[in-house]
Amino acid sequence: MTDSLDRATKIKVILFDVDGVLTDGSIWLFPAPASGPRSTDAHAEKHADKPGFAIISQNMIEAKGFNAHDGTAISLARLGGLKTGMVTKRISETVALRARDLKIDYLYQGAQNKSDILDKILAESGFQEEQIAYVGDDVIDLPIMRRCGLAIAVANARPQVKAMAHHETLSVGGHGAARDAVEYILEAQGTLEKVIDAYIHARMSIK
């Protein structure tokens, strides 16, 4: 516990897997209300011959359920001076929309090798590995979790991920796990209560 708290004090960036972390892992396919290009189409087409990346269809749309508490976590992280990111293998317009809504700093879809994505983020940000936290749930997350300063597993993560993690959330993926992770880091850094007060004040000031 002490080691994970010490690691949390150094974090400047927190990255999240999407399916199973920011969502409960469910993927819903609905008839598209209208056909037409989407912002992720070109990216998805690059992986059209490989399984598990994206649903490529003008007639269907992939949807996911996000948790409002986790959305608030992104706002709290920003107020606490943390940058945030999503790193996911699947390519989805729903994720692109959610990332824009939350003003996510780093969004990488189609990320089969997440360790390579970490290299890109480090080069872009100038941060060090020890300053990066990653929240994951499945074995595809292991390569990046091995390198990050703070590896966090959601409560329903695969056993291999829990074994790798420095910390485990109380909540399962898609049901507040991201909020747990952000609050854990902010509390370790001694800023959680101040950040919550700032969040409340900002919303009371909106007229």
* Sequential DSSP letters for 16-62: E-IIIIIS-S--EEEE-SS----TTHHHHHTTTTSTTS----SSEEE
Whether the predicted pLDDT of 18 surpasses 80: yes
Total residues found in the chain within this entry: 207
**What pTM does this model have?**
0.85
Range 2-26+65-204 has CATH code 3.40.50.1820: no
Average of per-residue pLDDT across 55-76: 83
Give the residue from 47, 161, 67 showing the smallest Cα distance to 111.
47
The whole-number pLDDT of residue 147 equals 97
Band the pLDDT of 93: cuts 50, 70, 90. Answer: confident
Average of per-residue pLDDT across 10-23: 97
Give the residue from 31, 18, 20 showing the smallest Cα distance to 57.
31
The alpha helices in the chain, defined as continuous H runs, are: 2-8, 41-45, 68-79, 93-102, 114-125, 142-147, 159-164, 177-188, 192-204
Whether the predicted pLDDT of 127 surpasses 50: yes
Annotated domain spans of the chain:
2-26+65-204
DSSP state of 165: -
CA distances from 198 to 69, 150, 182, 201 (A): 17, 25, 15, 5
CB 19 within 8 A of CB 64: yes
Tens digits of residue pLDDT in 151-198? 999 999 999 999 999 999 999 999 999 999 999 999 999 999 999 999
